[in-house]
């Protein structure tokens, strides 16, 4: 329809939808691969296939935006006239309705599954929804004003928006691919869980976090009071791991336990309580 009518706005929308089909196909296989259990060559699993697919998608979005901007510049100078404006309006109205329903479904699925690649897909189709609305407005204005140059102007605006969205998405997934630490909200959850055992935990070090797709990896070293039995230490570790997995969806937790040294006695509440008991007993005697 865009080629026949000469409308770059409609053509750019159709071109972007075609890229969406390709991107969604890539995302489908990325999600399937990311859910594959760890193997000998990928001992941490395959979750990073999700942000990798999202980054590929960001480049596709960027390319489509650059192409639309290039065509808009050419059409602006050549003053292309659009045919069958009314038919294009009807086509874009149906397209917007279908895209809107798809955006709602993808956003719901992305939030429920905490999937980076589904979020990227919903962002891609959301740009389609906004660009489609822009195209529809442009066609209505052309129909009532006869100013066909509006088509090129709206196409350029849509292209800029698509490029900015692609750059933002690329920046987000790059941070994930570079193993950036978990958000402050998740770190706060971890700290609150550790505080539940603050009397037995003398020190926490080598706390490292990262995310990959819908999985979040957390590992740490816990220095526990040396008077605890091996069973007690293991129970504390198990309790912390269970609470973190419950509080942070998709968390993979690895905790290493170390016994405390005498140098930690000043900061250990267990030793402090024992010292207070000794002082009370000596005072009573």
In the chain, where the domains are located: 2-177, 184-284
The DSSP secondary-structure symbol of 264 reads G
User: Which tokens in the block code for residue 52?
Assistant: 């990798």
* 284, pLDDT greater than 60: no
Out of 79-88, 108-117, 273-282, pick the least confident: 273-282
* Separation between Cα atoms, residue 170 and residue 59, nearest integer Å: 8
**209 vs 102, residue with greater confidence:** 209
| Cβ neighbour number for residue 221 with a 10 Å cutoff | 14
Helix (H/G/I), strand (E/B), else coil: 254: strand
The DSSP secondary-structure symbol of 80 reads P
Out of 8-12, 51-55, 120-124, 238-242, pick the least confident: 8-12
Model pTM?
Answer: 0.61
**pLDDT-above-90 percentage for the chain:** 12
pLDDT category of residue 256 using cuts at 50, 70 and 90: very high
Q: Are 92 and 32 in contact (CB under 8 A)?
A: no
**CATH number for the 2-177 domain, one of 1.20.1510.10, 3.10.20.740, 3.40.640.10, 2.40.50.100?**
1.20.1510.10
* Separation between Cα atoms, residue 104 and residue 228, nearest integer Å: 52
* Separation between Cα atoms, residue 126 and residue 121, nearest integer Å: 8
Provide mean pLDDT across the span 209-227. 85
Highest mean pLDDT among 6-10, 66-70, 186-190, 256-260: 186-190
| Cβ neighbour number for residue 202 with a 10 Å cutoff | 23
Q: How large is the C-alpha radius of gyration of the chain?
A: 28
Report pLDDT digits (tens) over 159-186. Answer: 888 788 888 888 888 887 887 888 889 9
Provide mean pLDDT across the span 50-64. 81
Measured CA distances, 113 to 16, 107, 109 (Å) = 26, 10, 6
Out of 102-116, 178-192, 198-212, 221-235, pick the least confident: 102-116
Strand spans (E) along the chain: 201-212, 215-224, 251-259
Domains 2-177 and 184-284 alike in fold: no
* 250, pLDDT greater than 70: yes
**39 vs 4, residue with greater confidence:** 39
Alpha helices in 146-268 (DSSP H): 149-177, 184-195, 230-247
Residue 22: its pLDDT value, please? 67
Measured CA distances, 190 to 35, 99, 185, 216 (Å) = 25, 39, 9, 12
The closest of 153, 159, 84, 173 to 128, measured between CA atoms, is 159
Question: Which helix (DSSP H) or strand (DSSP E) does residue 202 occupy?
Answer: strand 201-212
* Separation between Cα atoms, residue 132 and residue 91, nearest integer Å: 10
* 5, pLDDT greater than 90: no
Residue 35: its pLDDT value, please? 73
User: Which tokens in the block code for residue 12?
Assistant: 């750019």
**Is 184-284 CATH 3.40.50.10680?**
no
Residue 3: its pLDDT value, please? 41
């Amino acid at each position: 329809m865009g080629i026949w009518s000469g409308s770059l706005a409609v053509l750019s929308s159709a071109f972007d939808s075609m890229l969406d089909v390709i991107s969604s196909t890539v995302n489908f296989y990325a999600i399937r691969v990311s859910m594959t259990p760890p193997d000998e060559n990928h001992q941490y699993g395959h979750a990073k296939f999700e942000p990798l697919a999202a980054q590929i998608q960001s480049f596709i979005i960027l390319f489509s935006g650059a192409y639309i901007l290039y065509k808009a510049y050419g059409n602006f100078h050549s003053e292309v006239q659009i045919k069958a404006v009314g038919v294009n309006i009807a086509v874009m109205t149906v397209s917007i309705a279908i895209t809107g329903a798809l955006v709602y479904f993808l956003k719901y699925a992305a939030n429920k599954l905490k999937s980076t690649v589904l979020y990227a897909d919903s962002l891609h189709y959301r740009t389609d929804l906004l660009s489609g609305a822009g195209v529809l407005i442009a066609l209505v204005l052309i129909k009532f004003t006869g100013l066909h140059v509006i088509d090129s102007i709206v196409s350029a605006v849509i292209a800029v928006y698509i490029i900015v969205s692609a750059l933002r998405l690329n920046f987000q997934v790059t941070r994930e691919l570079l193993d950036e630490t978990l958000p402050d909200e998740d770190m706060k959850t971890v700290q609150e869980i550790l505080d539940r055992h603050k009397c037995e935990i003398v020190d926490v070090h080598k706390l490292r976090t990262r995310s990959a797709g819908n999985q979040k990896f957390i590992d740490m070293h816990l220095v526990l009071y040396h008077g605890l039995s091996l069973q007690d230490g293991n129970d504390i570790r198990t309790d912390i791991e269970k609470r973190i997995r419950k509080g942070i969806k998709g968390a993979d937790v690895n905790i290493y336990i170390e016994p405390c040294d005498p140098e930690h006695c000043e900061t250990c509440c267990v030793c402090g309580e024992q010292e207070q008991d000794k002082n009370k007993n000596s005072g009573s005697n």
